Structure 1
Amino acid sequence: MIIREIVESDIQQMVAIYNHYVETTSVSFEETPINAATLKERIEIVTSAGLPWLVAETNGQIEGYAYAGQWNKRSAYKYTVEPSIYIAVNNIGKGIGKALYTYLLASLKSKGIKNAIGVIALPNPSSIALHESVGFKKVGEFDRIGVKFGQEVSVGYWQLALDA
């Protein structure tokens, strides 16, 4: 497995990975599957801001991806990002998430980013474990803030200081 910056030919596999989460879980609060054009626009926003969008790839197969977008558009938040990570369903639990996250966080730190805010739909013990394994600490929770598949979903917030 290699971790590298995204290229356009990765997008269709990434759409399939993401849409699994949209269609079958509360991990994403998106309710309608996306297409390649939508993902391409999102990638452009992140990368044009100088932030990384990474994939884990083995022999042309995308195993997962990770990126970080701006936490808030107000200028005082310019050193704080919200990372996201999505792993192909057949690769969950194989260490790919931790490898991607470790690489992403190092890249963010090298770019002068000071804080990462992990946003986790709850319950999600595997995502909590992943975040905490790389140093995130829980800092808050909004109770039943979203509704997906007719169920109220809470959201927890984990923070990692990258300049510590």
Structure 2
Amino acid sequence: MSINFEYATEADLPTITAIYNQIIPSRQATADLEPVSVASKQAWFDQFDPHSRPIWVMKDNGTIAGWVSLESFYGRPAYVHTTEISIYIDENYRHHGLGQKTLTYVFSQLKELDIDTLVAFIFHHNMPSIGLFKKNGFETWGHLPDVADMDGKLYSLDILGRRFK
């Protein structure tokens, strides 16, 4: 598998949305309960900027294997150097080290983007993602107990963070 990272384009949004929708039934990585539409993700997609808040797609010989985004954190000027990272990998590419390749790539781009802090919001029960981030120097900065109600069950959310300065 030869993965390269490219800035996401408008043409990638249907695939980005499809990959996002794959994980919803697992209740592992998003608090959405039903699949979302491409139209409903359009405003979200439009807020990204390759020079400061990019979305990259991971491509394997032209096929999108996943995506990663760096989204503004909390929407206030004082947080300009902090972003929330989200990684979603197509079900056919999971468990092949793509999460690690993605983090390594993102870390290499932070200086150019003028980002010095990453935060990740990860469900407490999503041990594979928590393990990946902790292996890469992220620490638990917060724990929100039982904040998500999915299918009548309560789930906790962890906030993981890492500074790069």
TM-score by length of structure 1 reads 0.91
**Structure 1 counterpart of 2:54:** 52
- Give distance in 2, aligned partners of 1:105 and 1:46: 18
- Give distance in 2, aligned partners of 1:130 and 1:48: 25
**Structure 2 counterpart of 1:128:** 130
RMSD: 1.7
**Structure 2 counterpart of 1:159:** 161
- Give distance in 1, aligned partners of 2:62 and 2:12: 9
1:98 aligns with one of 97, 100, 109 = 100
Question: Is contact 1:67–1:104 with CA below 8 Å preserved after alignment?
Answer: no
**Structure 2 counterpart of 1:3:** 5
2:141 aligns with one of 116, 139, 142 = 139
**Structure 2 counterpart of 1:80:** 82
1:73–1:110 Cα change, 3 Å? same
Question: Is contact 1:52–1:108 with CA below 8 Å preserved after alignment?
Answer: no
**Structure 2 counterpart of 1:28:** 30
- Give distance in 1, aligned partners of 2:108 and 2:61: 24
Amino acid at match of 1:96: L
Q: Which runs of 5+ in 2 are unaligned?
A: none
What is the number of residues matched between the two proteins? 163
- Give distance in 2, aligned partners of 1:26 and 1:114: 27
- Give distance in 1, aligned partners of 2:50 and 2:79: 17
